Homo-oligomer: A and B are copies of this chain.
């Protein structure tokens, strides 16, 4: 036993005090934790307690010389730090004490400090100059349990589907030449359809299960297989099939939908034109009704009015074509018409021209193409007439009288597709992050000169900060998209304006998040991330277009903003300013509580980790941006500016508003979901993830909060520190967290992630 100035009681506290004082992160409430534990420690004498408590005074902290002597005392003991102990710091402290004094009795108060402060081996093992016995980090969480928690709906089906995907047909391989790639993807699609996976969302009468939520999970899993397959699947069953399901009549459903679900009938969804993507209302293709022949003439009037980027264009025999419906010389607005493209020999029909769109950044297994129509006649029965049709007398009729409302109601059926796109992007992010995390738990680079082994990438603070907040956001967004799909599927009214606003915002936020997360993952894997075999490259190129298709993100955020400004009464797609203007006044009556300086500088951890704070902060931003946008637009209009121009002048403001709306929604729905969960252990973890996501979001807009005085400088800095600290605290659980994404081992084929 070696000499030390400290008594047996004090000694095991020394490593704790070293951890506490080597950094100055402890808040008042955390100091209270330590104080309470010391006071309750019956093994200590009064003098020992006094000594220990005197070291807890933030105003008069222990001096550097003292702290350094603690460090030396610890190092000199030669005791290794064993990360896999249940209470590693307590165990370590007791062993250090044992070295000096021979005492080695578990101390429940030390355990309490260790638990309540949330300190983890990776949080402090850098502090000691001692051997660290790295083992798989002890975590009380299991990936399997998390996976089950994330998949409350359709869990049995998902597990069955994962087994189904074990077949060789779904094994990923590098594909460069688009022709064989497309054939391969088509074969996979047919196999899925044959086994009933495509029709899940359809009515029972059409071979489905009327279960849109499980359909979305199936779609998500296909992203793990291959992005092209997922998109081809979405086009055939979601867009093409979905258009018949949602816009067609019962007769059309029984004629086409059942076969579409079995992929006996392959179809495409021809909405976008070369000249018109975001502005769907402006498409130029016409469907002119000729009463004498009871037919519609589908026509591409000019250059750039052809359909473009149409998935399944080379395989499809039927297309849902969106066109301006002209009846008796009057344009009744955009409607969908089923137009046969090919005969049973797969020859393109007369009047139709189809061209391959060629190679793309990604998704080269999908046959996107351009389609031209030259006076193509189809029977009027081919009009998908749920929202508007032509009667026997050749008269147009619709149960929705207002053409704007009719238009957005029809397009409202795209919402399910937008949720799937966001889910697909999120799946790609999950997979890329899983690969990057698993790689960083094996890959070592650089070390201290003393150590033999180099450090794991994920033990670098910068690497933690790069990946861990993004893993947390995946959990939040996963729950949120489940909720969105549930809301959408459960919404039986035709007025889907609120969910449409919600999904517009979320689709933009989540697809942009995914692009950023995949980019971080690629860079975090260095050169290995650049090799196709490691999958991140394809995830990146395949999902890149998700920020554009099914609604360009910039356009969607403006739609979301219009929804907010009009209290969800906006006519949703292009134009539609007047409905917004009508509601502007109501947004101006909002009252703001003045932010108390004590609040804007409150930095204790309870407060910063509190969901109430997160919701308050994000909601404050939303309300303030709503108010100020409404005020600006109203002022422009008062000065005589046309409303279109007033919206243009405030465009960047509206984008921020749309984003703020999505931010609030995400965290609100996430926390609401956590309230439902029974299991306390996992709730704690999930709340930590929520806090990390929320604080990262607040941090991303810190300059705005500071400008508004909502955050003081100290609090803003504290939030940055908390984001770093939470990332470090979650480090031991990160492997379980990515396993919780439920990507089956057989699909995680990246060599660096094995």
Contacts and interface: CB of A to CB of B under 8 A. Distances in A.
Interface of A: 21-23, 64, 67-72, 75, 126-127, 129, 174, 176-178, 272, 276-279, 282, 308-309, 357-362, 445-450, 454, 460-462, 465, 515, 519, 522-523, 526-527, 529-533, 537, 540-541, 544-545, 547-549, 552-554, 574-575, 635-636, 638-642, 644-645, 648-649, 651-652, 655, 699, 702-703, 706-709, 713, 716-717, 724
B533 A358 contact: yes
Given A357-B531, A360-B531, 6 more contacts: A69-B640, A277-B445, A282-B446, A449-B644, A462-B554, A702-B706
Given A68-B640, A359-B176, A649-B126, A717 B706 contact: no
B541 A361 contact: yes
B174 A177 contact: no
A341 to B, nearest CB: 20
Contacts of A724: 652
24 contacts: A22-B636, A64-B639, A70-B640, A71-B640, A75-B640, A127-B641, A309-B527, A360-B532, A360-B537, A447-B644, A449-B575, A450-B642, A460-B648, A460-B651, A461-B649, A462-B652, A465-B652, A523-B548, A523-B554, A527-B548, A530-B548, A706-B716, A707-B713, A707-B717
Contacts of A708: 713
Contacts of A277: 445, 526-527
B549 A644 contact: no
Nearest to A527: B309
Nearest to A125: B645
Given A445-B277, A716-B707, A174 B129 contact: no
Nearest to A650: B461
A549 B527 contact: yes
A528 to B, nearest CB: 9
A640 B67 contact: yes
Contacts of A272: 527
Nearest to A22: B639
A709 B532 CA distance: 47
A699 B652 CA distance: 15
A69 B639 CA distance: 8
A339 to B, nearest CB: 21
A176 B177 contact: yes
Given A652-B461, A703-B703, A126 B21 contact: no
B544 A522 contact: yes
A76 to B, nearest CB: 11
Contacts of A67: 638-640
Contacts of A709: 713
A136 to B, nearest CB: 21
A129 B648 CA distance: 13
A530 B360 contact: yes
Among the interface residues A129, A362, A644, which one has the most CB atoms of the partner chain B within 10 A? A644
Nearest to A364: B176
Contacts of A544: 522, 530
B126 A532 contact: no
Given A67-B640, A446-B282, A537 B713 contact: no
Contacts of A706: 702-703, 706-707, 713, 716
Contact of A522 (B70, B308, B361): B361
B640 A278 contact: no
Nearest to A455: B648
